[in-house]
Structure 1
Amino acid sequence: MTELEKGSALPRGLSSIEGTSPKIMGIVNVTPDSFSDGGRHATTDAAIAHARRLVAEGADILDIGGESTRPGADAISIDEECARVIPVIEGCRDLGVTISIDTRKKAVMAAAAAAGATMINDVSALEYDPESLEFVGKSGFPVCLMHSLADPKVMQDNPVYDDVVAEVMAYLRRRIDICVAAGIDRRKIIIDPGIGFGKTVDHNLSLIKALPEFQSLGCDVLLGASRKRFIGQITGEAIAEKRVVGSVAVALHGATSGVQILRVHDVKETRQALEIWQAIDAASF
């Protein structure tokens, strides 16, 4: 039995860890070219220390990734990606939280699972690697399927939609159906509208406003908007690490919209905001 299944009483995914409040997924980028932290956690020791700090601050899940998916990023080899993430996963598996591997590649998923990961987060919604569908189906792990208009290298070149909400929902519905047909339990599928992945500011805002509609797809919803460029475009803040307040504002909107998982860089600040929101919501008058 995995950590995700212990004490599970609700029918869907990670929202069943405890109660119904959003779970916080802390981001661990083991990359030298991360948009959010400039490669500050690119070494194994730095990444493990950062992961441990995120857990101490209240992360329920650690999302560990070794390949940058920022706009314009180049793909890296399987060997290089594994060399970055596997030692970090091994260094975090005693922390008592769910470890997610953020990758598009079946070989990396398999190596991460052997090292202690129990969740898959794939920005290609299991499309990039044709072997990933079968692997995830056999693993029994929860999997997050994200929408992206194109490969990270070119996704922001000129994103165009007739109706961004309808098109993203239709894509995720198709991917859910394909995954279920491949043997993946629908209850283990999490969906992510892919904020910032082939979207303009207006596209992102429309998707965030429409978050309650994504619940109709019958899967838990993950929101990953932390420190992203659209926050800077709205506020004028060019430095990603200074977009904390804007990121927390988006996270709180996600929580009020029924999102089950918040993928964030700033765990302490997000946890504090959620606790205050929950306390106000529970207060009597």
Structure 2
Amino acid sequence: MAEKNFFEPKQSLNIKGKLIDLSSPKVMGILNVTPDSFYSSSRTKSIDEALTKAAQFLNEGATFIDVGGYSSRPGAKDIAMNEEIDRLVPVVESLAKAFPDAVISIDTFRAKVAEETILAGAHIINDIAAGDMDEQMFETVAKLQVPYMIMHMQGNPQNMQQNPFYDNVLLDVIDYLAKKVAALKALHIHDVIIDPGFGFGKTIEHNYELLKQMEAFKIFKLPILAGFSRKGMIYKTLGTSAAEALNGTSVLNTIALQKGAGILRVHDVKEAVECVKLVGMLG
């Protein structure tokens, strides 16, 4: 039995004793409580708006709601930690009260923000910096004992798209994530999700090379999150805009599912759920 568990990919997350089955891919809806997220339609300006959007996501089939209070778009403005906490905690408390069965993820790279929002009712930490922007993050997650999503990013949101360079983008990203996973396992953090970081410190060519070889990330035997939703790798390639990138997002989500994605992080839940159902018909 031990050998079977070692070689089989991890297909569940423990959310405060409740197991989330990832043997069938799940969808994560993006709920931004920021004034400057790159896709304007994803922004919410009040708790009531956040609750309305969350209800829509859940009705459309989302398993996770990912709440962000710090825009990570290229060149985004840096904000103080207290401002991020003030944006997030009231929303998390309201979501947890209104939707007690919903799984709430927090998009933050700050350990203090992670701790405050988990105490407010969130369940998962989604860290675009995989601990690189706050040396206390790994220890905080270990203390909180919550699932942890780690993403690869070259640089930070303010400079990540200034001439990103790799010797070999796939091998460099895998090497980075391997070191992070080893460090997390040493701290007994077992529910880890990996994210290749599409659009974060990568050229359009880098992004498509990672997607082309996405099966390689199965080596970790961990859930893989794919986040393409309305990003520049779609609309810049097509010569359109984020507002016109839903069809392209569905195309890339479909490819990612076929290559092993277990979670799709999206602005448009209904369409992503449809991708999951249709690809699932292939067996």
What's the TM-score once normalised by structure 2's chain length? 0.90
Residue in 1 that maps onto 2:192: 189
Amino acid at match of 1:125: A
Instruction: Provide the C-alpha distance between the structure 1 equivalents of 2:251 and 2:131, rounded to a whole number of angstroms.
Output: 30
**Number of equivalenced pairs:** 269
Deviations 1:3-27 (A, max 9, x none): xxxxxxx844449623622110100
Offset of residue 38 of structure 1: 5.6
Within the alignment, does 1:99 sit opposite 2:104 as a pair? yes
Change (3 A) 1:89 1:71: same
Asked if the contact 1:52/1:92 (under 8 Å) is kept, the reply is: no
Residue in 2 that maps onto 1:7: none
Amino acid at match of 1:80: E
Residue in 2 that maps onto 1:142: 147
Instruction: Provide the C-alpha distance between the structure 2 equivalents of 1:164 and 1:82, rounded to a whole number of angstroms.
Output: 34
Within the alignment, does 1:47 sit opposite 2:50 as a pair? yes
Amino acid at match of 1:56: N
Cα RMSD over matched residues?
1.7
Offset of residue 237 of structure 1: 1.1
For residue 270 of structure 1, the aligned residue among 247, 252, 272 is 272
- SS of aligned partner of 1:150: coil
Within the alignment, does 1:258 sit opposite 2:263 as a pair? no
Residue in 2 that maps onto 1:165: 170
- SS of aligned partner of 1:196: coil
- SS of aligned partner of 2:177: helix
Amino acid at match of 2:39: S
- SS of aligned partner of 2:189: coil
**Shift >3 Å, 4+ stretches:** 10-16
For residue 209 of structure 1, the aligned residue among 182, 207, 212 is 212
Asked if the contact 1:138/1:183 (under 8 Å) is kept, the reply is: no
Offset of residue 59 of structure 1: 0.5
Amino acid at match of 2:211: I
Change (3 A) 1:12 1:53: same
For residue 88 of structure 2, the aligned residue among 81, 85, 90 is 85
Superposed, which structure 2 residues align to 1:63-78 within 5 Å? 63-78=66-81
Asked if the contact 2:138/2:184 (under 8 Å) is kept, the reply is: yes
Asked if the contact 1:237/1:243 (under 8 Å) is kept, the reply is: yes
Offset of residue 46 of structure 1: 1.5
- SS of aligned partner of 1:183: coil
Amino acid at match of 1:92: L
Offset of residue 274 of structure 1: 2.1
Deviations 1:50-90 (A, max 9, x none): 11211111100000010000000122111111111111111
- Unmatched tracts of structure 1, length 5 or more: 1-9
Instruction: Provide the C-alpha distance between the structure 1 equivalents of 2:21 and 2:109, rounded to a whole number of angstroms.
Output: 29
What's the TM-score once normalised by structure 1's chain length? 0.90
Offset of residue 138 of structure 1: 1.5
Offset of residue 276 of structure 1: 2.5
Within the alignment, does 1:59 sit opposite 2:45 as a pair? no
Offset of residue 42 of structure 1: 3.2
Amino acid at match of 2:119: A
Change (3 A) 1:11 1:270: closer
Superposed, which structure 2 residues align to 1:23-42 within 5 Å? 23-37=26-40, 40-42=43-45
Offset of residue 39 of structure 1: 6.4
Amino acid at match of 1:274: V
Stretch moving more, 160-169 or 86-95: 86-95
Residue in 2 that maps onto 1:22: 25
- SS of aligned partner of 2:43: coil
Amino acid at match of 1:135: T
Offset of residue 115 of structure 1: 1.0
Offset of residue 43 of structure 1: 2.5
Offset of residue 230 of structure 1: 1.0
Instruction: Provide the C-alpha distance between the structure 2 equivalents of 1:165 and 1:49, rounded to a whole number of angstroms.
Output: 39
Residue in 1 that maps onto 2:228: 225
Residue in 2 that maps onto 1:246: 248
Asked if the contact 1:28/1:63 (under 8 Å) is kept, the reply is: yes
Deviations 1:191-241 (A, max 9, x none): 101000010110000111111100102221100111001101111112x12
Offset of residue 171 of structure 1: 0.3
Instruction: Provide the C-alpha distance between the structure 1 equivalents of 2:183 and 2:275, rounded to a whole number of angstroms.
Output: 37
Residue in 1 that maps onto 2:5: none
